[in-house]
Amino acid sequence: MYTQFLGNYLLQKGIVTKEQLFNAMSRLPQTHIKLGTIAIHEGLMTANEVDECLYVQTREDKRFGEIAVERGYLSDEQVNQLLAMQTPEFLLLGQNLVEDGVFSYEELERIMFDYRSEAELYDLSLDVENQEAVEAIISKFFLMAEIPPNELNIMYLELMFNSLIRFIGEDFTPLTPMVIEEFPVTFGVSQNIFSDHEFETHIDCDRETAIAFASRYAKEDFNEFNEYIVASMEDFLNLHNGLFIVNVSNQLSKDISLSPPEVIEDGILSGPNKCVDFPVEYPFGTVHLLVCF
Amino acid sequence: MDISSKKILVCDDSILARKQLMDAVKEIADGATFIEGKNGSEAVDLYKSEKPDLVFMDIVMPEKDGTTALAEIREYDKDAVIIIVSSVGTQEQLKKAIQLGAKDFIQKPFEKNQIKEIIELRLGGK
């Protein structure tokens, strides 16, 4: 999971110009991944080894994979595995920039390493017990809700727990999720996500809990319920959903958009299809994370 | 750094996001005048009436989103210096912002040194 789109990262580091990036991005729909690029990404070959095989390829009429196997850099099995892999979109972008001569494979290898260490959000790696609990809860949820556990849905929920850990703290206990028809709202914020289908996420808690939640998120000591509390809750949800969309943009070519977050007080929440309540218990109170599909 | 003569427009529907951005700027440089907008329509109006030196703008906002406001401001003033600060740094959004003439695109949550670099580049030494 990434916190920043690769193109954005390259631009900010001054590695590419806007023109170079724009050129490389505009060709993405027609770009096919090369075995060498993905082998570097998977850590199976070094950039030098890829360059060597590419050089040999200009002299011998053989496939890249064949040459890499002959030279002992890859096994047949690894070649097949690499060919079957789904390619993250950011890797295609990197490959286009190499082809445009913006940087070499060797530089791409280093850039990827830095990008991963700076822009990757490690999957619930803070606490193994917590990670297992969350994974169990997510798989149980899909079973209960009779929703197909597709890649997007799983990514969304895992990221939600990651966002809680990252922005609020890891001292929470996930409670049992429930599928519900309607949810009585005390106070909370909602945001709609538009993709292949539309769904809505809502965060709900009482006002005292909201004050504590907001204080942690904004790293400020709030004492009373005011507009900053509401804004913090909205920001958290907006940031989480934004990161989700960046991840989807990095991994798959999907167009997803967000509506501005909204405050809901003392109403009833219902979705077109199903709503699921994921309660998490923090020392300061219970926060309900609701996803309405 | 002294940026006393400079005017900065901060446009975000979140009061907290506006405060955090202004706090970050104040930590790096003193004296700037801040103008705040809560949506894209306000950003366009404020730009025209106040002529700020620098604009920080979110994308997801009610009434008029940030990219629409960016396009309208650039149409009014092709030299406008607009920095997008958004949680939605996707390929599509980045492409759109670049095409429309944004000077930079910062992914939220931002780091203070990103703001520092922008202030130095865009407002320093003028």
pLDDT in tens, B52-96: 999 999 999 989 999 999 999 999 999 999 999 999 888 888 889
- Segment A79-108 shows an average pLDDT of 92
Mutate to test the interface with A, among B12, B90, B96 (most CBs of A within 10 A): B90
Count how many pairs of residues, chain A against chain B, have C-beta atoms within 8 Å: 85
From A289, A5, A43, select the one nearest A172 (Cα to Cα): A289
Respond yes or no on whether the N-terminal peptide bond of residue B109 is cis (omega within 30° of 0). yes
Q: How far apart are CA B76 and CA B96, in angstroms?
A: 18
User: Where are the domains positioned within chain A?
Assistant: 1-132, 134-292
Predicted confidence at residue A126, as pLDDT, reads 54
Mean pLDDT of chain B, nearest integer: 92
A99 CB neighbour count, 10 Å cutoff: 13
* Single-letter amino acid code for the residue at A215: S
Predicted confidence at residue A127, as pLDDT, reads 62
Q: Which alpha helices (H) appear in B11-111, and where do they start and end?
A: 15-28, 40-50, 66-76, 91-100
Please check whether residue A263 touches B, CB under 8 A: no
ipTM of the complex: 0.88
Q: Which residues of B touch A166 (CB under 8 A)?
A: none
Q: How far apart are CA A170 and CA A134, in angstroms?
A: 12
Q: How far apart are CA A245 and CA A239, in angstroms?
A: 10
User: Where are the domains positioned within chain B?
Assistant: 7-121
Please check whether residue A232 touches B, CB under 8 A: yes
Question: Hey, is A3 helix, strand or coil?
Answer: coil
Please check whether residue B92 touches A, CB under 8 A: yes
- Segment A185-202 shows an average pLDDT of 84
Cα-based angle A22, A25, A26 (whole degrees, multiple of 5): 85
Q: How far apart are CA A276 and CA A270, in angstroms?
A: 10
Q: What is B7-121's CATH superfamily?
A: Response regulator (3.40.50.2300)
CATH fold of A134-292 reads Chemotaxis protein chec (3.40.1550)
pLDDT band (50, 70, 90) for residue A78: very high
Predicted confidence at residue A125, as pLDDT, reads 52
Q: How far apart are CA A143 and CA A159, in angstroms?
A: 19
- Segment A74-98 shows an average pLDDT of 91
Percentage of chain B with pLDDT > 70?
Answer: 98
CA distances from A148 to A49, A77, A274 (A): 41, 31, 13
Q: Is the pLDDT of residue B126 over 50?
A: no
Look at A5 and B90 and tell me if their CB atoms are within 8 Å.
yes
Closest Cβ–Cβ partner in A227, A242, A259 for B15: A227
Predicted confidence at residue B64, as pLDDT, reads 92
Residue A214 CA, chain-centre distance (Å), reads 23
